[in-house]
Every structure is written in C-alpha cells, then in structure tokens.
Amino acid sequence: MKFITIEEHFESEVITNEINKVTGNLVSGQVSPEMFQYMQKELPSATEMQDTEKRLAFMDQHGIDMQVLSYGNSSPQNLGPKISVALCKRANDELAKVIQQNPTRFAGFAVLPVGSPEDAAIELKRAVEELGFKGALVKGQFENKYFDNSFYYPIFEMAEKLDVPISFHPSFIPEPITEQYFASDAWSDVVTGVFSSAGFGWHMDVGIQVVRMILSGIFDKLPNLKIITGHLGEMVPMFLNRMDDTLGHWTTLERKISDYYRTNVYVTPSGLLYKNEWKFLLNELDENHLIYALDYPFVKPENAGTFLDTLDLTDEVKAKIAHENAEKLLHL
C-alpha cells in the first residue's frame, strides 16, 4: 500500500546557524541544565535532522512513499519580524532545495514569520505558488498570543484563498503555565520538562489552541479554512460531545463545536500508533479527516508500515488514511 506521512521534520544547517547567531542557542537558555542534557541524549541530533540519506533509508524500509517536511525545533518562526521575515523566506528556499532533489519522495510545509502576519501571508503565497509547498506549519504561540487572535487573521485568510491547510504543532509553553501546572519539588527538572512538553503539556496546549480557533468564529468567517492537528487530536476528540453540551450553548457560533472540528480539522497520529486510541478516533471522526504521520525523526516506529493492518479497517479506509486523504487535502 502507498503511504504518505505529513508531519515529518527537517532542519537546515544554514538556518540553524543563522538562528544561533541571533539567539545564542535559544533552547539551551530556555531549559534547566538537567533538561538540556536530557534533550541532547533523547532527541535527534542536528545531523539526523538534516540528513536525507538516512531519512530515505527509513522510508524505504517501512514503505513510506512520501514525507511532507517541515522545520523542527530549529525554526525561525518566533524570531522578531526584523529577522524572521527574511530568514523564513531563506528557510523555505533551503527546504525547497531538498525537495527538488527528491521531488517524488518529499513535499513541504512553509515556515512563516508570524510576528508580521501580512508578511507571513505574502510568504505563504510565495511558498505555495512559486516553491510548490502544500501549506504551512505553525508552532506553539508567538509572544504568548494564540493563533486565534485576530492579529493573525491575514495568515488564515491567505491559507483559505490558496486552499492549503495550516498545521498546528506543539512548542514550549509559557513558563508561568509550566510552574503552575507541571513543576513540583516532588520530582526532578526532567520530569517537569517532559510533563510540560511531550508527556502532556504540549498536547494540552495545542488542543486548547484548536478549540480557541473554533470559539473565535474564524470558521464562520473562513468556512473553507482547513487546519491539521497531530498526536491523535491533542486530547480534543474525547471532549467534543462534552463541549457541545456545555460550552457550545453560550457561544454565538453558527454550528456546534463538534461540527467545526469534524469539518475543518484534520487529525494525524504523529507516530502515536496506539490501537485503542485509534479505535476511538475512528468512531468519533470522519475517516476522510484522518491522515497518517510519524513525526520522523522524533518518532521512528518499527511498525510504521504495518500498523494500519492491525486495525479492523476495510482496504478502502486504509487507503484513505495511508495516502488518499493527504493527496486530496494537499493536492499531491
């Protein structure tokens, strides 16, 4: 069976070096020494993020026909506009070079200078129309503003106009939230760091952001806007009915919260190949809105190419999840 995975991450040595010139290695300054040591040990190295030969070998081993690449942690998105506007453009050009070397194996999501939404919209248009990118990926927040803020409207307006999706990806959450919800003297900085990120906090944060997008009414203004959310829906699918029964009664939205989610949101697993969770998603969401993703090289499941065979799916549904939904959404 053909497989397309759409949340697969890449870094450019050129862009990482430019970011570090400005920030002095931002990540190491954001976390404790213990957490930084954990990250150095557990996360993919810069070499692995930048490498394409090992990436292609992994794809061949597991029958992955195409990866849709986006910038990983080393992204210029959240730098100030004076730097990010030019650097995001350069980053997209660097990614385009990688795609051009293997155009049948790779596609791309743009990185955008979200601190200047008008420039971000212009860069999204350039990336789609000139570079052939299939949408954009945004990470976390910018200056503690979620993307439902009207400040960012030009980005989403352009995405709808171009008929390309915006993918929402986790990133570091604000320190006060980490301290309030995830830190304790009862455990180490590493436990706090993982609890507030990949262990729980990142997913809670992106899930809240997706719900905020719905509550903001943006899908009433831009009914054809499409967004992608990973990690099995970032906890939101479990609460769709609950939100309809409670929160939904007090909004001025034209439809139920769950209707927007099931219509405008596409969900990927981000490499979380858990059978029970998948069964739940298949019961709750439209099979046409589920798209395969592995989160390479952060996640490299040994059953990447065989997992769908373990689910009780028809060949038609497997084909939709494995490649057809991605092809339709991304115009591949």
- Point out which residues pair with 228 in neighbouring strands: 167, 266
pLDDT at position 31, please? 65
Using CA atoms, how far apart are residues 138 and 113, in angstroms rounded to an integer?
9
Using CA atoms, how far apart are residues 128 and 47, in angstroms rounded to an integer?
27
pLDDT at position 287, please? 97
pLDDT at position 209, please? 97
- Point out which residues pair with 138 in neighbouring strands: 168
- Using a cut of 0.85, tell me whether the model's pTM lies above it: yes
| Residues near 305 by beta carbon (within 8 Å), at least 6 away in sequence | 3, 62, 63, 64
pLDDT in tens, 141-159: 899 899 999 999 999 999 9
Confidence of residue 29 (pLDDT cuts 50, 70, 90): very low
Q: Quick check: 308 pLDDT over 50? A: yes
Tokens of 83: 């730097």
Q: Quick check: 76 pLDDT over 80? A: yes
| Residues near 138 by beta carbon (within 8 Å), at least 6 away in sequence | 77, 112, 114, 147, 155, 166, 167, 168, 169
pLDDT at position 206, please? 97
Region label for 149, one of left (φ > 0), alpha (ψ between -120 and 50) or beta (otherwise): beta
**Average per-residue pLDDT for the chain:** 95
The least confident of 42-51, 108-117, 267-276, 323-332 is 42-51
* CA-to-CA separations, 312 to 71, 87, 288, 309, in angstroms, rounded: 34, 46, 16, 8
pLDDT at position 279, please? 96
